[in-house]
Amino acid sequence: MQKGIFFLMLAAVVGCGKSDTGELVGVQDRPVWKGIQPYGMVYVPSGTLLIGPSDQDISATFVQRPKQISIQGFFMDDTEITNNEYRQFVHWVKDKMAHEKLEHFLEADPDAVEEQDPEIDWDMEIDWEAEELQDMYYQGNNKLSGKKELNVDLLKYSYEWYDWQAAAHDKGQSARNKFIKKKTVKVHPDKFVWVRDFAYSYNEPMTRNYFDHTNYDDYPVVGVDWNMVTAFSNWRTALYNKSLGEDQINTEDFRLPSEFEWEYAARGGHEQSMYPWGGPYIRNAKGCLIANFKPGRGNYPEDGGMYTVKADAYFPNDYGLYNMAGNVAEWTLTAYAENILSRVSDLNPDYRYDADDKENPSNKRKVIRGGSWKDSHFFLQNSSRTYEFQDTTKSYIGFRNVLTFLGRSINDF
């Protein structure tokens, strides 16, 4: 009886976050983590992967040496980010710019000790005819046929991140702000990629319509460089955390997958498969092509798509991921180096380099994976790797996000 009273009193004391009993009970009232699974994402469990050269890339044998690695579980978008999903980001930036011009801010907390950035009152309706907003549109001789069109070059997003790698190697010698990096990027997709990527080719209809027309809402966004998709990932993280509330903040960020996470997910649990669907063939038993790529010379529509196709076209792999081969190639987090496979760790391998805008172009190379609608089937292989420059936009490169999974297997919930 007395022992029961003691534990009841102990529970009452530690329930307030303190313990004056001398017992080691840990900090109480910790937030309860219930786990999450973001909308539109699928779970890829932890596992191992044998990376190395593809079956049809003999020349890469000496720079892509086979290596077994382990990958921590993560969530991954089941499709490439679509035009309409990316448009949500663009519209948010546009609305933020308008609110700031109209000064739609909430009153600051008078009891706040530190200076706070003004918070936008998103409930305030925007009057797009207001005089303060007219400079957001093309003016004077920049107008086309007198149309009122938004000047998309003004749409910019500023974000910051912490350089964990640099801070770790600094070993506490420098102030924290040395490792807080900031960047401002334009966010509107580059529509002119459709004309610029192909010489002597009539693709102006895609330039005019691909990102804006309703018919292409569910197609993968293109014309976005590596910096733009990193900005999108930062915005998506802030948007998602705001929806969770203060007691369920997700400490991990939406981000691009490393090239090793990407390959692991593309294989769908098949260790030695050449393609995401498992088999060594690019046609099914009926002779139909099972991905969107360039199957021959000049025969783009044979696979069912002249250019890109809807992000959920064709069958998914065994993890539930669509178009891990073809449709659009995908940006990854990884900086490109020919012989990096022999140098990275076998535990969550990761090779990154944040190149400044003025650096040598060779330092700006980022790995892209998966092949695209205009590529031959060699680039559709799970292990095929190539690169593009981080400040380059293309009509055949898009992306998808991942989110590192925290804790036990998701099946334990």
CA 39 to chain centre: 14
Could you give the CA distance from residue 388 to residue 226 in angstroms, rounded to a whole number? 9
pLDDT at 54: 66
Question: Across the strands, what pairs with 180?
Answer: 162
For each of the chain's 413 residues, which pLDDT tens digit applies? 555 544 444 445 545 555 578 899 998 888 777 778 899 999 999 999 988 876 666 666 666 778 899 999 999 999 999 999 999 999 999 999 999 999 999 876 655 545 566 789 999 999 999 999 999 999 999 999 989 999 999 999 999 999 999 999 999 999 999 999 999 999 999 999 999 999 999 999 999 999 999 999 999 999 999 999 999 999 999 999 888 877 777 789 999 999 999 999 999 998 888 999 987 889 988 889 999 999 988 899 999 999 999 999 999 999 999 999 999 999 999 999 988 888 899 999 999 998 998 999 999 999 999 999 999 998 999 999 999 999 999 999 999 999 999 875 555 44
Q: In the chain, how long is the greatest CA-to-CA distance?
A: 91
Question: Across the strands, what pairs with 258?
Answer: none
What does the block give as tokens for 15?
């329930």
Could you give the CA distance from residue 389 to residue 387 in angstroms, rounded to a whole number? 7
CA 185 to chain centre: 15
CA 219 to chain centre: 16
CA quadruple 333, 35, 270, 268: dihedral sign: negative
pLDDT at 406: 85
CA angle 100, 104, 106 (to 5 degrees): 120
pLDDT at 4: 52
Could you give the CA distance from residue 321 to residue 265 in angstroms, rounded to a whole number? 8
Q: Model confidence over 111-162: pLDDT tens digits?
A: 554 556 678 999 999 999 999 999 999 999 999 998 999 999 999 999 999 9
Relative to beta strand 365-369, strand 67-71 is unpaired
φ/ψ of 237, rounded to 5, equals -60, -50
pLDDT at 411: 56
Location of structure tokens 């940006």: 331
pLDDT at 7: 44
Relative to beta strand 365-369, strand 385-389 is antiparallel
From residue 136, give the alpha-carbon distance in Å to each of 59, 94, 292, 359: 52, 9, 38, 32
Set out the domains of the chain in order of their start, with CATH numbers. 41-107+118-412 (3.90.1580.10)
Location of structure tokens 């490792």: 179
Q: How many residues does the chain have?
A: 413
> How many CA atoms, within 13 angstroms, populate the side-chain half-sphere of residue 128?
7
Could you give the CA distance from residue 347 to residue 355 in angstroms, rounded to a whole number? 25
Q: Are 41 and 403 in contact (CB under 8 A)?
A: yes
How far apart, in Å, do the first and last CA atoms of the chain sit?
Answer: 36
What does the block give as tokens for 146?
């007198």
The count of other CB atoms within 10 Å of the CB of residue 237 is 18
What does the block give as tokens for 275?
């393609």
φ/ψ of 335, rounded to 5, equals -75, 145
Could you give the CA distance from residue 238 to residue 261 in angstroms, rounded to a whole number? 23
What does the block give as tokens for 111?
């009891």
Of 81, 88, 72, 123, the residue nearest 102 (C-alpha): 123
